[in-house]
Amino acid sequence: MKEKLEIKDIVQLKKQHPCGSKEFEIMRTGADFRIKCLKCEKQIWLARTVLEKRIKKIVKSEEK
Ligand SMILES: [Zn+2]
């Protein structure tokens, strides 16, 4: 996982959320990331290293 993650990126995780969705929006970056489930809108804090391991792919990045 070498791609740079930025706020508002949509990521697909390897494991699905209990609600059934695998897609999350990045709300905050740093040593700890805050991501929001796109389906149930629950927000989760994850350490960067943990998140990077869980990401399957980046679905959408904001145009710069
Ligand atoms: Zn969810």
23 alpha carbon to ligand 1 midpoint, in Å?
A: 8
31 alpha carbon to ligand 1 midpoint, in Å?
A: 23
pLDDT score of 64 more than 70:
no
Report pTM.
0.87
pLDDT in tens, 15-50: 999 999 999 999 999 999 999 999 999 999 999 999
Calpha distance 40→52 (Å, rounded): 22
19 alpha carbon to ligand 1 midpoint, in Å?
A: 4
pLDDT, residue 38, reads: 97
pLDDT, residue 62, reads: 63
If pLDDT is split at 50, 70 and 90, which confidence band does 4 have?
confident
30 alpha carbon to ligand 1 midpoint, in Å?
A: 22
Cβ-proximal residues to 44 (8 Å cutoff; 6+ apart), any chain: 24, 34, 35, 36, 37
